[in-house]
Amino acid sequence: MRTELCGIELEHPIINASGTFDAIAARRAFGDAVLERFPFSAYVSKTITPAPRTGNPPPRLWEEPAGMVNSIGLPNKGLDGFMDGDLPALAELPVPLIVSVMATSAEEFAPLVESVAGRAEVAALELNVSCPNVHSGLIVGEEPGETAALMTALRPLTAKPLIVKLTPNVAEPAAVAIAAEQGGADAVSLINTIKAAPALADGTPWLGAGSGGLSGPAVRSIALKQVADVAAAIEIPVIGMGGVERGVHAAALLGAGAAAVAVGTASFRDPLAAARIRAELEALAVDSPAPSGTA
């Protein structure tokens, strides 16, 4: 089950999806048992932004028959709050730390990337590009040109791995993945949530922000298609996610070309879901080992 991602050794291929497992709160609630039985082989932080954000107005969640829609709105302590408050606590986790960052322009991204990458505790950065560029108004991750320009600006700032988190809300995610790769990304991760707007019977939007993003089992086969398309189009590793609830779902993403798999919404129902998924994946590998020479 050991694997490697952008030069980072992982004990197994199951990591968490950003924003879906609060390791600091889990440790507060369950103590050091969380460290002893940490379910992920690397930990991806909640996305941080340059300044603190309070997030979107409530309600922020809507349950679907096979998933949920969230409009959390990236509440976070901002760069300074993260560095002083959260980073020391996250550095105590027994696995490599990947910090997710987001900003609204390359100029805003730059100090974020330099500060976070400059810390020895941080193994890699994930760039959340599902946000409009303040100059162009375009969602960076929806436009290959915007993604390439951002990577060109950020790549020289650090030698640490830069993972671009792709949005599924495009016709051709592979085109954006190719732009990320050409701009110097070390890996891509996908899928982020799919735009969704639940409403009441009279048409009133349920979510305080009006709309949000769908995740969970409902998006699984979309994720599988997009991961396969992206993995076929680029050379750099792909981290696959979207609706993974069981070992077979992780195996399918790995089979589609993912180098690692992230568990997101499933952790809300069961914080140890990732440990079970990992065990199920391991059992599948034992039952049907890879042909000799390819293990």
Ligand X SMILES: Cc1cc2nc3c(=O)[nH]c(=O)nc-3n(C[C@H](O)[C@H](O)[C@H](O)COP(=O)(O)O)c2cc1C
Q: How far is 52 from 253, CA to CA, in rounded Å?
A: 34
Asked if 165 is part of the footprint of ligand X (rule: CB under 6 A), the reply reads yes
Binders of ligand X among residues 250 to 289 (CB under 6 A) are 263-265
- The catalytic residue among 10, 123, 131, 214 is 131
How many residues belong to the site for ligand X (CB under 6 A)? 25
Piece in contact with ligand X (CB under 6 A), picked from 3-11, 132-140, 169-177, 187-195: 187-195
Candidate residues 147, 167, 215, 226; the one interacting with ligand X per rule CB under 6 A: 215
Asked if 41 is part of the footprint of ligand X (rule: CB under 6 A), the reply reads no
Piece in contact with ligand X (CB under 6 A), picked from 7-15, 17-25, 104-112, 201-209: 17-25
Residues 6+ apart with CB under 8 A from 174: 229, 230, 232, 233, 234
**The residue type at 64:** E
Q: Active site includes 6?
A: no
Asked if 39 is part of the footprint of ligand X (rule: CB under 6 A), the reply reads no
User: If you search the block for the tokens 């379910």, which residue do you land on?
Assistant: 39
Return the residue nearest ligand X (CB atom): 19
Chain centroid to CA 9: 18
Candidate residues 242, 258, 273, 277; the one interacting with ligand X per rule CB under 6 A: 242
Q: How far is 229 from 151, CA to CA, in rounded Å?
A: 21
Candidate residues 6, 8, 12, 18; the one interacting with ligand X per rule CB under 6 A: 18
Q: How far is 275 from 41, CA to CA, in rounded Å?
A: 10
At 158, list the tokens: 């650090």
Cα–Cα nearest to 127, from 142, 97, 107, 147 = 147
Contact 49, 76 (CB under 8 A): yes
Contact 111, 83 (CB under 8 A): no
Cα–Cα nearest to 67, from 175, 234, 213 = 213
Query: How many residues are listed for the chain in this entry?
Result: 295
Q: Hey, is 40 helix, strand or coil? A: coil
Piece in contact with ligand X (CB under 6 A), picked from 2-10, 14-22, 145-153, 225-233: 14-22
Asked if 100 is part of the footprint of ligand X (rule: CB under 6 A), the reply reads yes
Candidate residues 13, 39, 50, 216; the one interacting with ligand X per rule CB under 6 A: 216
Asked if 177 is part of the footprint of ligand X (rule: CB under 6 A), the reply reads no
Asked if 243 is part of the footprint of ligand X (rule: CB under 6 A), the reply reads yes
Q: Which is nearer to ligand X, 31 or 57 (CB)?
A: 57
Binders of ligand X among residues 112 to 131 (CB under 6 A) are 128
Asked if 247 is part of the footprint of ligand X (rule: CB under 6 A), the reply reads no
Using alpha carbons, list the distances in angstroms from residue 4 to 237, 238, 239: 10, 12, 12
Asked if 103 is part of the footprint of ligand X (rule: CB under 6 A), the reply reads no
Residues making contact with ligand X (CB under 6 A): 17-20, 46-47, 70, 72, 74, 100, 128, 165, 191-193, 215-216, 219, 241-244, 263-265
Residues annotated catalytic, as ranges? 131
